[in-house]
Structure 1
Amino acid sequence: MTELRVPASAGLLPGQRRRKPAVTRKRPLLARINAVAFLLLAVDLGAWLAATVLTGADLLEAVVAGVALGIARVAGRVHRRRLWLSWLQDLPRSVATTGVAFTLVACVALVAEPRAHGMSAAQELVVVFALFSECARPWVFAFGRWGRRRLRRCDRAIVVGAGESGGELIRTMLRHPEFGLLPVGFVPSDEDPRNDHLPVEVIHEGLAEAITRHSAGTVVFAHSSDSDSAVVDAAVTAHRFGCVTLVVPRLSALYPDRSGVDRLRSHPLVWLAGAPTRRPSWRIKRVLEAALAAAALGVLAPVIAVCALAVVVESGLPVIFRQVRVGVDGRTFLLYKIRSVRQDTVDDSQTRWSVAGDHRVGPVGRFLRKSSLDEIPQLWNVVRGDMALVGPRPERPVFVEEFSAVHDLYWARHRVPAGLTGLAQVHGLRGDTSIADRARYDNYYIANWSLWLDLKIIILTVGELWCRRQR
């Protein structure tokens, strides 16, 4: 997998040609819609409507029951995309989510009518919904298996890995199309002679070439002898092309069924979360952060003015310090800070790692750095879209190049925009601390990103700043 080993941060030194992101293809809308997931959602909607009519629930009761069912079943992911279409396998999850909805409706009814006896109309609606829904879901799964076998409604898949493991996956997909994967290419991680006898094309140019040539929508990673860094590189490539990514886990024979794990016959496959920047919730993050940053700039304008005056009195103009940093997909941008270091005849800001103990940092500069007030102008970077409020720390190009060459997966942190604060910072990784630990925290943040995680990091950041000021 030669092409997959190139770091995403390559080509960032000043004067070098910047590489374009790997996203060059968008799959058609119909190819991205999963028919079974859509039908399961339609069945639930039809079951809710039928239950509303049969129970005679009024509008308010129907809405309460519908909202409770929607929250519980979306949270339980009963409408998710899946390979293994088995009603019996899914029945416990489906019943559990309906039970949660019934409990929510019961709590609402208890608050609304504390002296009422028996089930409310909304509770009856949930029970009738469960009967209709569970009677229809087996037929949906059966129709999905039939469509995959007879109509070849399968997603085109590329398999990456070693010959024996990858070949077994390919043959299983071909023998059992009811799992919804049609293998169209194999990207080998070794020179196994058995690769020549596989029933699909063996592509040595790399994963990006395979995805583009075959219009693949799924990438399956089998066992391989490659390093974790190379495999992660390949997974990032798949994400950037908008592909679903499945991984055969290590110790697969001992791997239990659980959330996020699917089955291709006897092969467990772990669903990897796609690029967070492709999710609708990421757009919500962008809008919220831009609005919060703009509001914060307005509120903190007097603080900025006082800090600027103090800098002018201590060391003159300019007040704002500009520095080139690396953001999402290796693109560079100008980061703004209140200057905390006195001007010198030689500008070493792009290559000097730390100014701790530097004689050029005066009392005002030390206060600004200790209190993080010097970072307030970065809110303008957030408004502009160069950065986010929460994300990996933005670093200078020369250090990105250096750290990417030394630390595995450092480059992978540039999958999302840099942030004013981040998971690494709230865990004490500020200043002259371990780069490897920072990279691990940043990649953990990207893999587990959610709006709640962002909020948690912001709360921890506020707490850290408050404690710092009390010292």
Structure 2
Amino acid sequence: TGPGPVCAVVTAVALAGTRVAGRVHRRRLWLSWLQDLPRSVTATALAFALVTGAGLLAGADGDDTARMQEVVLCFAVVSEALRPAVFASGRWGRRRLRRCDRAVVVGAGRIGGELVRTMLEHPEFGLLPVGVAASGPDPVPSGLPVERIDGDLTGAIARLGAGTVILAPADDRDGAIVDAAITAHRLGCVTLVLPHLFELCPDGPGVDRLRSYPLVWLGGAPTRRPSWWVKRAVETALAAAALVVLAPVIAVCALAVAAESGFPVFFRQVRVGMDGGTFVLYKLRSVRQAAVDDSQTRWSVVGDHRVGPVGRFLRRSSLDELPQLWNVVRGDMSLVGPRPERPVFVHEFSAVHDLYWARHRVPTGLTGLAQVHGLRGDTSIADRARYDNYYIANWSLWLDVKIVILTVGELLCRRQR
């Protein structure tokens, strides 16, 4: 008889979990059974160890543990026996049936041309080049049977139906390559990068091969991952609950504002959100109203005589930010993300600081990575942009949790000063 239902579930979870974590089943260019064999063997060994450990910890019968081990080993044998044939059929389909993903190469010169020719000569890697764009001073090589892209990369990707973008930077700070990577992410394209000193680049996690060229897989846009929808659902629920729980606190603060400087107690201001869209942000008013409203163009209120004792307390404690929970519930903002800025300053900073505009790839947030590193108020805009773009490139649910914990710690420390 086979293992019981519980043992079957444990075995299935162990096999699936180790193979997913080990990236045994993943999208790849190079379909090679021998290249993948060490990864598959490692996953099998881990699954074998997991079912053995689970059996020992649960005090399972020795026969049940042995059956789970047998299932793992049988699965490994059958799987490895079939994988060479599966890979061979995949290569055949790419070569004969042209089941290839349409690709655009960004980066001209000799290397860009060689990448295009390699894809054309070796369709078994699953890429069909349809366009090439220059990224630096080197022109697009002549004689390539693909479209030369000048100017609008976004429009070209859509028009050519490209699902993959390969980046071949001309130098270490090729701004056009970075812009192209962000554009590809926004469009949901698979993004591959030919690294500098690629001749010395070893194989490793996230590295694939196009013949002799190593290509590094860049992670997709965070907003396209299933975990992003988990983030949105959790943040909406938390913000709604916080609004209910903190309603008395907001009411007391509003009464204090009214007593100090009259009505209105709420402050409304236009801010820039995801993809450059604008929304109305809500705060408790901490500055007395002036005859001329300069809130959209005034950078800082440090030293402003219009900020009274109540306003200073609200700003120091960040209690003036609590109404933004409503923006989170509405979907204008997230709990965690780059802080939103006013349109006039977004325009100004985007013209001066590299990739400031790129921080708007995700919704803005109530707190962010830059803020927990001390970048609040009149601090470096360049540093803020770098932290915000780092957050987007490395986003995970755990990173959000860390930022929330650091924010709470910072607020508590600030109140004790």
Do Structure 1 and Structure 2 share a fold, with TM-score over 0.5? Answer: yes
Find the partner of 1:93 among 36, 39, 45. Answer: 39
- Structure-1-length-normalised TM-score: 0.85
CA distance in 1, matches of 2:291, 2:28: 62
Find the partner of 2:55 among 109, 117, 124. Answer: 109
**Cα shift at 1:240:** 2.4
Is the 1:244–1:274 contact (alpha carbons within 8 Å) kept by the matching residues of 2? yes
CA distance in 2, matches of 1:319, 1:191: 56
Structure 2 vs 1, CA of residues 67 and 115 (structure 1 numbering), >3 Å: closer, same or farther?
closer
Residue deviations 1:279-336 (CA, integer Å, cap 9, x gap): 2221111111111100110111111111111111111111111111100000011100
Give structure 1 stretches of 5+ with no counterpart: 1-54
- Paired positions, count: 417
Find the partner of 2:305 among 337, 341, 359. Answer: 359
Give structure 2 stretches of 5+ with no counterpart: none
CA distance in 1, matches of 2:159, 2:94: 23
Is the 1:327–1:414 contact (alpha carbons within 8 Å) kept by the matching residues of 2? yes
Matching residue's letter, 1:100: L
Aligned residue number for residue 441 of structure 1 = 387
CA distance in 2, matches of 1:353, 1:96: 56
* Residue 240 (1) aligns with residue 186 (2): yes
Is the 1:165–1:223 contact (alpha carbons within 8 Å) kept by the matching residues of 2? no
Is the 2:135–2:169 contact (alpha carbons within 8 Å) kept by the matching residues of 1? no
Find the partner of 2:198 among 215, 235, 252. Answer: 252
Aligned residue number for residue 400 of structure 2 = 454
> What SS does the corresponding residue of 1:125 show, helix, strand or coil?
helix
CA distance in 2, matches of 1:76, 1:399: 45
Structure 2 vs 1, CA of residues 107 and 328 (structure 1 numbering), >3 Å: closer, same or farther?
same
> What SS does the corresponding residue of 1:402 show, helix, strand or coil?
helix
CA distance in 1, matches of 2:410, 2:23: 36
**Cα shift at 1:119:** 4.0
Once the two structures are superposed, the pairs formed by residues 305-324 of structure 1 within 5 Å of their partners are: 305-324=251-270
- Structure-2-length-normalised TM-score: 0.95
> What SS does the corresponding residue of 1:148 show, helix, strand or coil?
helix
Is the 1:184–1:201 contact (alpha carbons within 8 Å) kept by the matching residues of 2? yes
Find the partner of 1:224 among 158, 170, 181. Answer: 170
> What SS does the corresponding residue of 1:361 show, helix, strand or coil?
coil
CA distance in 1, matches of 2:344, 2:5: 62
Is the 1:196–1:202 contact (alpha carbons within 8 Å) kept by the matching residues of 2? no
CA distance in 2, matches of 1:120, 1:363: 72
Find the partner of 2:249 among 303, 306, 316. Answer: 303
CA distance in 1, matches of 2:228, 2:137: 40
CA distance in 1, matches of 2:247, 2:92: 64
* Residue 396 (1) aligns with residue 345 (2): no
* Residue 427 (1) aligns with residue 369 (2): no
Aligned residue number for residue 74 of structure 2 = 128
CA distance in 2, matches of 1:190, 1:293: 46
> What SS does the corresponding residue of 1:66 show, helix, strand or coil?
helix
Greater mean deviation of Cα atoms: 323-332 or 193-202 = 193-202
Once the two structures are superposed, the pairs formed by residues 165-244 of structure 1 within 5 Å of their partners are: 165-189=111-135, 195-224=141-170, 227-244=173-190
**Cα shift at 1:434:** 1.0
Structure 2 vs 1, CA of residues 193 and 348 (structure 1 numbering), >3 Å: closer, same or farther?
closer
Find the partner of 1:145 among 87, 91, 107. Answer: 91
CA distance in 1, matches of 2:87, 2:139: 39
CA distance in 1, matches of 2:309, 2:359: 34
Is the 1:161–1:188 contact (alpha carbons within 8 Å) kept by the matching residues of 2? yes
Residue deviations 1:81-128 (CA, integer Å, cap 9, x gap): 000111111111122222222222222212210785994432332222
Is the 2:132–2:140 contact (alpha carbons within 8 Å) kept by the matching residues of 1? no
**Cα shift at 1:439:** 0.5
> What SS does the corresponding residue of 1:182 show, helix, strand or coil?
strand
Is the 1:338–1:377 contact (alpha carbons within 8 Å) kept by the matching residues of 2? yes
Structure 2 vs 1, CA of residues 222 and 120 (structure 1 numbering), >3 Å: closer, same or farther?
same
CA distance in 1, matches of 2:274, 2:134: 29
Residue deviations 1:352-385 (CA, integer Å, cap 9, x gap): 1111222211111111111111111101000000
**Cα shift at 1:58:** 1.5
**Cα shift at 1:226:** 9.1
Greater mean deviation of Cα atoms: 96-105 or 329-338 = 96-105
**Cα shift at 1:263:** 0.6
Aligned residue number for residue 356 of structure 2 = 410
Greater mean deviation of Cα atoms: 336-345 or 221-230 = 221-230
**Cα shift at 1:171:** 0.7
Larger relative contact order (Cα-Cα within 8 Å, sequence gap ≥ 6): 1
Is the 1:187–1:206 contact (alpha carbons within 8 Å) kept by the matching residues of 2? no
> What SS does the corresponding residue of 1:323 show, helix, strand or coil?
strand
**Cα shift at 1:185:** 1.4
CA distance in 2, matches of 1:470, 1:116: 58
Aligned residue number for residue 322 of structure 2 = 376
Is the 1:162–1:225 contact (alpha carbons within 8 Å) kept by the matching residues of 2? no
Percent of paired sites with the same residue:
75
Is the 2:271–2:279 contact (alpha carbons within 8 Å) kept by the matching residues of 1? yes
Structure 2 vs 1, CA of residues 84 and 302 (structure 1 numbering), >3 Å: closer, same or farther?
same
Aligned residue number for residue 464 of structure 1 = 410
Residue deviations 1:19-68 (CA, integer Å, cap 9, x gap): xxxxxxxxxxxxxxxxxxxxxxxxxxxxxxxxxxxx71121111111112
CA distance in 2, matches of 1:298, 1:86: 56
Aligned residue number for residue 69 of structure 1 = 15
**Cα shift at 1:181:** 0.5
> What SS does the corresponding residue of 2:142 show, helix, strand or coil?
helix
Structure 2 vs 1, CA of residues 69 and 347 (structure 1 numbering), >3 Å: closer, same or farther?
same
Is the 2:169–2:177 contact (alpha carbons within 8 Å) kept by the matching residues of 1? no
Greater mean deviation of Cα atoms: 351-360 or 256-265 = 351-360
CA distance in 1, matches of 2:74, 2:273: 52
Matching residue's letter, 2:109: G
